[in-house]
Amino acid sequence: MKKILMIALAICAIQITSAQANNRGQKAMDLAPEEMATLQTKKMTLLLDLNQSQQDDIYKINLENAKLRKAHMAERKAKREHAEATKPSKEQRLEMANKMLDHKIAMKAKMKNILNDEQYAKWEKAQAKRHAKMKGKAKKKHAGKRDK
């Protein structure tokens, strides 16, 4: 009897944790682009010790990126709701990858113009760490799908 109760309790805990994890992503979607840009700029200010003019320049970049992300999220959500969520063709994937890489190159160039050498090196290191973390999460996600 105790074992059954413990198993039921563990399953409930897993369900609650899973629901909270899904909720976190939803909260980020509820923020306005201006709020996202402000938060990201403040985080970068703390990390890189930015002066006021750097903060203003980076806020503009972050705002532009937040608006772009928000538009992409809305587009994906609309496609999901209308059941148009088909896998992109090889050409479409190539085009999306090229757009993303062009955007990253432009971002690096803008950041290099705004930040000094020490700040830029710190930013690059943080980006690499973030990329590795996201890659790890993607591996876990795909491993979970394969197990099912």
What is the per-residue pLDDT across 40-88, written as a single tens digit (0 to 9) for each? 999 999 999 999 999 999 999 999 999 999 998 888 888 878 776 677 7
Instruction: Please state which of the ranges 36-40, 79-83, 91-95, 105-109 shows the lowest mean pLDDT.
Output: 79-83
Examine the pLDDT at 25 and tell me if it is beyond 60: no
Dihedral, CA of residue 31, residue 37, residue 42 and residue 43, to nearest 10: 80
Residue 137: what pLDDT?
Answer: 77
Gap between the Cα atoms of 50 and 41, Å rounded: 9
pLDDT band at 106 (very low <50, low <70, confident <90, very high): very high
Residue 112: what pLDDT?
Answer: 93
Sole residue written with tokens 């938060």: 39
Residue 20: what pLDDT?
Answer: 63
Residue type, 80: R
pTM: 0.70
Phi/psi at 108 (5° precision)? -60, -45
Provide the residue ranges of all domains of the chain, joining segments of one domain with +.
Answer: 32-85+103-115
